[in-house]
Amino acid sequence: MKTDPKGVLTGSHYMDGDFAIAEGGLAAGCRFFGGYPITPSTETAERFSERIPKVGGIFIQMEDELGAMASLIGAVWGGRKAMTVTSGPGFSLIMENLGLAAMMEIPVVVANVQRGGPSTGLPTLPGQQDMMQARWGSHGDYEIIALSPDSPQECFDLTIEAFNLSEIYRVPTLLMTDECIGHMHEKVIIPPAEEIEVVERKWYKGPKDKYMPYKPDKDGIPFMVKAGDGYRFHTTGLTHDYRGYPEINAEWQDQNVRHLVDKINNNADKIIKIEEDKTDNAEVVVISYGITSRVAIKAVQEARRNGVKVGNIRLITVWPFPEKRIRELADKIKAFVVPEINYGQIVLEVERCAAGKAPVIKVSHLGGGVHNPDDILRLIMEAAK
């Protein structure tokens, strides 16, 4: 369906990634923001707090990220679309109730403007060190969806996409950006509301006494209701049956975990978006995401000028991981080169998918800046030998 025009600031703007995340949320129909200020993500919260009273929604600065994430889940059961934004230390606190959101199958969006870690790390400088935490940072088995924008424009576009995916799959969806993109000012074009497609919640419409919050529909995704509409439903973070009633046994645990994981993995082909350039006859394929993809492209172009057949892949969806495509390529190429601003996280996934068929070379920058393209270039050249 078309989005509610109230939240859409149609036009051509010059804004940073943090602001664009807030505008993306508003354009997607998000009307509840519960958050806690943390550098370098604060501007998203500030933007939201400024815009929301003019759009008809709620901004609440909670006492911490534990409460912020809990408030979002409450707000979603209250019928709203809800989001928060955070960075490293806050992301760790978000994880507690991100687990509850996964278990309760809550459509909700969390943006992480990554900085260097661990701990307080580098509050004002970039990192891509929370990519693994994004996947399984809360305890237990579950899957989420994570997207990684490479520009303020994509911060806007992918925030809307994140809301849509979260509603389709009833799953928390993460926008994993970084300080560079968050604070980068660029042109952001916000289309007219009629051009913005948003996915409505999968509302249940059957008889009230028949509603089961966790009974998968034909597409595997259960229906939702909101509190106060007479369903008298129950939901819990405990392992549960289709009614949402606790079931403390291995059988329902098996059902719950399989459901949470399979609903994402079985739909991976529909969810995953990657950008590919000249991968078809490539000897070497560079894989990157977020700000690093903007640096890597320089190295790729230079290597091509030097006569190397380099393919380039930019991960827009990081989780679920595009393993099928990486496996296909591993059969054909000499090597993968994976630059990222961490000591090697997504590279481990590439390695797993390459399964020894092609070497995987990591190019680490440990945070606080971006790669020097020459460092990537050198390893591309070596890989091509």
Selected binder of other proteins within 46, 49, 74, 344 (CB under 8 A): 74
Binding mask 14-53 for other proteins (x = CB under 8 A): ------------------x-x------------------x
- Nearest-approach distance from CB 39 to other proteins, in angstroms: 21
Record the tokens describing residue 237, joined without a space: 């973070």
Listed in sequence order, the residues at least 6 apart from 253 whose beta carbon sits closer than 8 Å to its beta carbon are 239
Q: Which C-beta is closer to other proteins: that of 68 or that of 174?
A: 68
Please report how close the Cβ of residue 21 comes to other proteins at its closest, in angstroms.
Answer: 20
* Identity at 359, one-letter amino acid code: P
Nearer to other proteins, 6 or 378 (CB): 6
Contacts of 250 (CB under 8 A, 6+ apart): none
3-state SS, one letter per residue, for 38-86: CCCCHHHHHHHHHHHHHCCCEEEECCCHHHHHHHHHHHHHCCCCEEEEE
- Quote the least distance from Cβ 63 to other proteins, whole Å: 4
CB of 139 to other proteins, least distance (A): 11
Instruction: Report in angstroms how near the CB of residue 56 gets to other proteins at its nearest.
Output: 4
* Of the candidate residues 4, 10, 49, 66, the single one contacting other proteins (CB under 8 A): 66
Q: Which is nearer to other proteins, 80 or 365 (CB)?
A: 80
Strands annotated E in 80-153: 82-86, 108-116, 122-126, 145-147
Q: Closest Cα to residue 309, out of 280, 283, 335?
A: 283
Please select the residue that binds other proteins; options are 9, 55, 257, 381, rule is CB under 8 A. Answer: 55
> Interface with other proteins includes 230 (CB under 8 A)?
yes
**166 close to 198: Cβ distance less than 8 angstroms:** no
Q: Give the nearest distance from C-beta 8 to other proteins in angstroms.
A: 13
Q: Which stretch binds other proteins (CB under 8 A): 57-65, 121-129, 142-150, 172-180?
A: 57-65
* Shortest reach from residue 13's CB to other proteins, in Å: 19
Residue 226 Cα distances to 52, 81, 104, 179, 229, angstroms: 22, 11, 13, 36, 6
Q: Which residues of 164-193 are buried (b: 16+ CB within 10 A; e: fewer)?
A: bbbbbbbbbbbbbbbbbbbbbebebebeeb
Using alpha carbons, select from 60, 166, 155, 59 the residue that is nearest to residue 111. Answer: 155
Which one among 13, 80, 115, 362 touches other proteins, defined by CB under 8 A? Answer: 80
**Contact between 381 and other proteins per CB under 8 A:** no
Applying CB under 8 A, the residues found at the interface with other proteins are 6, 32, 34, 53-58, 60, 62-64, 66-68, 70-80, 82, 96-97, 99-100, 226-238, 245-246
